[in-house]
Amino acid sequence: MQGGKLDLMARIIRAAGAADRDLVVRVIKAVYDEYGFGWHPETYHRDLYDLDGYYWAQGDEFFLSKEGGTVALELFDRIPAGVVEPMVRIEGCDCSLERLYVHPEARGIGLGRDLMAHAIIRARELGRTKMEIWSDKLFADAHRLYEKFGARVVSDRLCDDPEQSPEYGLELVLAEARLP
């Protein structure tokens, strides 16, 4: 669905590629700046500077909304055990929600909800059954959003980012996900 579009609640969420790099970086960096997180374009954030290479070429997907939101979907074989080195992963998952960010100026219009719904719909279309979501423990609004869709906290870890941020691990059984 690289060239496709999905209209949720009259909002267009579309595939993002190389031409969208600056917008994607602007959205995500604004959230990092808001929370005082470091920005690491050569390491932790290098995927944002090559969306085609880090997502589409790997079989994963990356989307954005013109209102100022992003979301990615990583696809992989079902995780057979609770731990895959060097990171903690959630058993039974076959996809993960990645890079769900809403620019601070675009909040309050349901954009996060629509991006999350888009990721769930795409995962279902691709035959995925269980999604893992890793979210910085500071993102309380995001955790409430995920829980509205039916995700539940099952773990925690230190992120592989340079700050080793503490994160909650949530799992979402896609067949049971509550869509808006």
The CATH homologous superfamily for domain 5-176 is Gcn5-related N-acetyltransferase (GNAT) (3.40.630.30)
> CB count, 10 Å around CB of 91?
16
85 pLDDT higher than 90: no
pLDDT, one tens digit per residue, over 134-154 is: 999 999 999 999 999 999 999
pLDDT, one tens digit per residue, over 94-107 is: 999 999 999 999 99
Question: Domain extents for the chain?
Answer: 5-176
The pLDDT assigned to 131 comes to: 98
* CA atoms of 152 and 130, how far apart (whole Å): 12
pTM of the model: 0.91
The answer to whether 145 touches 112, Cβ cutoff 8 Å, is: yes
55 pLDDT higher than 50: yes
